[in-house]
């Protein structure tokens, strides 16, 4: 079973916002006391955070789907929905976050670095928040927005000061085990090391990390062996250590040839790297040290003597060491410590990126109308953050909510833009991108005084009548009703005396 994973595809989904509530407060002597529907809670975010205790992406290899909790629904009596909890995912230091198309979103270096991978949806407003002087009794609420969903690629690039590179079985794992407290698997066959190993070395006042990169072979930069999978782990190092096997059993190998082969693979890989910031020295220009390992063996000592002068022509330190007997390890640790300190001193001071605020233009509409073909006919698509967000918040089963959406679109000038684009009554209008757009037949808003007869949308005249009659007004109303009743009785008596009323039985008898 895999114990180390340095590249995964992670699907993250933030929490959705809770729906707002449509409710009316009811009191003993005031059955319609006004709206009291509360807002829905906001959905939780999905956040990536660099954690020192996390060294692999294995957990996301087994669980590639991660979702934050959604916000709670709003309730009556102004009880707001609970906020969804953020989902914090721990990642190793040196993790590169990319979009599904390969675009680098962030390079997460440094303990505590955070990145919001997916933002939670906003909670919907309740009818209490939608009430105004013109809309005193909204009979609807807004829906919560769905949380953001994204597919990310996480790629781990080990953050180490020193990288040990070399052929399989050159003794890199033994070397890092002898210099630090790391305990990698060590065996006498090629490709024993299948994962990068990290170790911390302390030499006097020097303290630095060493990475044991799995063995490279010719063609590693093109994907042969394990090279392509793990070459990325040397990109961030300050110093390269070429570990050469001075006692190789193969007759066609020698330390100098091995060095040339590894340098060629590194140069090929470095040529394909994207240009990083000026804070990073090109890979092939970084300080390097040549280590002749296994010189405790007779064959190793003899081979080291043969190639030492030729290797010294490269003007880099050449050291004879033995991971088994610890020969030359102390000298090597101090040489690496000095080179690491020099490289760190050349790094510029970290600066905080300035905050750039770009105000929106005064005349910016925030949307646009595009004419396109839809199901064989001409349609008009409205694109923009506001219209698309409003559509997601609208409950299309509520006519009043749909009317509120129409009012909002008309307010930002969507109807004017549709007229300019050539839309007429009955034209097909789409709001939103792609196949998720809302499709409807457009009917322009008619302004003909209907609101004066029926009242504004979302109003209730019962809530507007706050006058309480006085005792004198009640007496005057009673006198008016009594006078009207006496007049009706007098009129009926006058009609009877005038003979307008006849007895039906007498009429039948006369007949």
Say if residue 212 carries a ligand binding annotation. Answer: yes
Cα separation, 344 vs 291, in Å, equals: 22
Q: What is the pLDDT of residue 97?
A: 92
Cα separation, 43 vs 15, in Å, equals: 4
Say if residue 364 carries a ligand binding annotation. Answer: no
Say if residue 159 carries a ligand binding annotation. Answer: no
Q: What is the pLDDT of residue 280?
A: 61
Q: What is the pLDDT of residue 216?
A: 61
Cα separation, 335 vs 172, in Å, equals: 17
Say if residue 194 carries a ligand binding annotation. Answer: yes
Say if residue 195 carries a ligand binding annotation. Answer: yes
Say if residue 218 carries a ligand binding annotation. Answer: no
Q: What is the pLDDT of residue 202?
A: 86
The band of 223, judged by pLDDT with boundaries at 50, 70 and 90, is very low
- With a cut of 80, say whether residue 193 has pLDDT above it: no
Q: What is the pLDDT of residue 153?
A: 93
Cα separation, 93 vs 111, in Å, equals: 7
DSSP string, 394-428: --TT-HHHHHHHHHHHHHTTHHHHHHHHT--TT-E
Q: What is the pLDDT of residue 10?
A: 94
Mean pLDDT, residues 346-373 taken together? 70
Of 206, 209, 173, nearest to 188 (Cα)? 173
Mean pLDDT, residues 42-52 taken together? 93
Q: What is the pLDDT of residue 86?
A: 95
**Sheet of strand 104-108: strand arrangement:** 65-67, 7-13, 149-156, 95-99, 104-108
pLDDT tens, position by position, 241-253:
888 888 776 666 7
**In percent, how much of the chain has pLDDT > 90?**
20
Least confident of 9-18, 337-346, 441-450: 441-450
Count Cα atoms within 13 angstroms, Cβ side, for 113.
14
Say if residue 166 carries a ligand binding annotation. Answer: yes
Say if residue 169 carries a ligand binding annotation. Answer: yes
Mean pLDDT, residues 139-143 taken together? 92
Say if residue 325 carries a ligand binding annotation. Answer: no
Query: Distance between alpha carbon 259 and the CA centroid of its chain, in Å?
Result: 44
CATH classification (class only), 1-156: mainly beta
Of 245, 210, 215, nearest to 230 (Cα)? 215
pLDDT tens, position by position, 174-184:
888 888 876 65
- With a cut of 80, say whether residue 67 has pLDDT above it: yes
Say if residue 214 carries a ligand binding annotation. Answer: yes
Sequence ranges of the domains in the chain: 1-156, 162-346, 367-464, 471-510
User: Under DSSP, is residue 107 helix (H, G, I), strand (E, B) or coil?
Assistant: strand
Q: What is the pLDDT of residue 156?
A: 82
Say if residue 213 carries a ligand binding annotation. Answer: yes
pLDDT tens, position by position, 447-498:
433 344 344 555 555 555 556 678 888 889 889 989 998 998 888 888 888 8
Name the average pLDDT for the chain. Answer: 80
- With a cut of 60, say whether residue 400 has pLDDT above it: yes
Cα separation, 138 vs 127, in Å, equals: 6
Q: What is the pLDDT of residue 352?
A: 58
- With a cut of 70, say whether residue 509 has pLDDT above it: no
Say if residue 215 carries a ligand binding annotation. Answer: yes
Say if residue 255 carries a ligand binding annotation. Answer: no
Tell whether domain 162-346 is in CATH 3.40.50.300: yes
- With a cut of 60, say whether residue 446 has pLDDT above it: no
φ, ψ for residue 400, nearest 5 deg = -70, -35
Q: What is the pLDDT of residue 225?
A: 43
Q: What is the pLDDT of residue 215?
A: 56
Say if residue 296 carries a ligand binding annotation. Answer: yes
Say if residue 293 carries a ligand binding annotation. Answer: yes
Say if residue 322 carries a ligand binding annotation. Answer: yes
Cα separation, 39 vs 234, in Å, equals: 51
The band of 302, judged by pLDDT with boundaries at 50, 70 and 90, is confident
- With a cut of 50, say whether residue 205 has pLDDT above it: yes
């Amino acid at each position: 079973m895999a114990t180390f994973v340095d590249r995964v595809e992670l699907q993250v989904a933030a929490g959705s916002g809770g729906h707002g509530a449509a409710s009316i407060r009811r009191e003993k002597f005031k059955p319609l006391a006004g709206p009291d529907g509360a807002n829905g809670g906001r959905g939780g975010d999905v956040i990536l955070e660099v954690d020192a205790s996390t060294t692999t992406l294995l957990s996301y290899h087994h669980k590639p789907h991660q979702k934050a909790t959604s916000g709670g629904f709003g309730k009556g009596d102004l009880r707001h929905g609970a906020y969804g909890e953020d989902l914090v995912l721990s990642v190793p230091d040196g993790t590169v976050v990319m979009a599904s198309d390969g675009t680098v979103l962030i390079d997460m270096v440094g303990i505590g670095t955070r990145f919001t991978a997916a933002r939670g949806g906003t909670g919907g407003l309740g009818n209490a928040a939608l009430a105004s002087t013109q809309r005193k009794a909204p009979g609807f609420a807004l829906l919560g927005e769905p949380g953001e969903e994204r597919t990310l690629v996480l790629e781990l690039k080990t953050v180490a000061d020193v990288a040990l590179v070399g052929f399989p079985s050159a003794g890199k794992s033994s070397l890092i085990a002898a210099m630090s407290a790391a305990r990698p698997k060590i065996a006498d066959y090629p490709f024993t090391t299948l994962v990068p190993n990290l170790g911390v070395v302390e030499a006097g006042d020097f303290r630095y990390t060493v990475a044991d990169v799995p063995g490279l072979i010719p063609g590693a930069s093109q994907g042969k062996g394990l090279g392509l999978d793990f070459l990325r782990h040397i990109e961030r190092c300050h110093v390269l250590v070429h570990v050469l096997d001075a006692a190789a059993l193969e007759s066609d190998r020698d330390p100098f040839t091995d060095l040339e082969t590894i340098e060629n693979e590194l140069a090929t890989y470095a040529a394909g790297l994207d240009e990083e910031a000026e804070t990073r020295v090109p890979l092939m220009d970084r300080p390097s040290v040549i280590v002749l390992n296994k010189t405790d063996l007779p064959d190793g000592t003899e081979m080291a003597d043969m190639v030492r002068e030729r290797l010294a022509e490269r003007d880099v330190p050449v050291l004879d060491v033995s991971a088994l007997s610890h020969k030359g390890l102390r000298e090597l640790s101090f040489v690496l410590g000095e080179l690491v300190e020099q490289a760190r001193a050349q790094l510029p001071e970290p600066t905080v990126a300035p905050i750039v605020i770009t105000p929106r233009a005064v005349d910016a509409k925030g949307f646009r109308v595009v004419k396109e073909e839809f199901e064989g006919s001409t349609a008009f698509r409205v694109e923009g953050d506001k219209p698309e967000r409003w559509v997601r918040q609208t409950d299309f089963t509520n006519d009043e909510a749909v009317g509120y959406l129409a009012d909002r679109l008309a307010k930002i000038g969507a109807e004017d833009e549709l007229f300019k684009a050539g839309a007429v009554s009955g034209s097909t209008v789409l709001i939103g991108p792609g196949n998720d757009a809302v499709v409807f037949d457009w009917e322009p808003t008619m302004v003909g005084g209907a609101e004066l007869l029926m009242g504004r949308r979302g109003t209730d005249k019962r809530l507007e009548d706050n006058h309480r009659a006085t005792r004198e007004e009640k007496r005057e109303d009673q006198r008016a009703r009594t006078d009207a009743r006496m007049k009706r009785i007098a009129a009926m008596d006058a009609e009877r005396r005038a003979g307008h009323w006849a007895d039906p039985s007498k009429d039948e008898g006369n007949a």
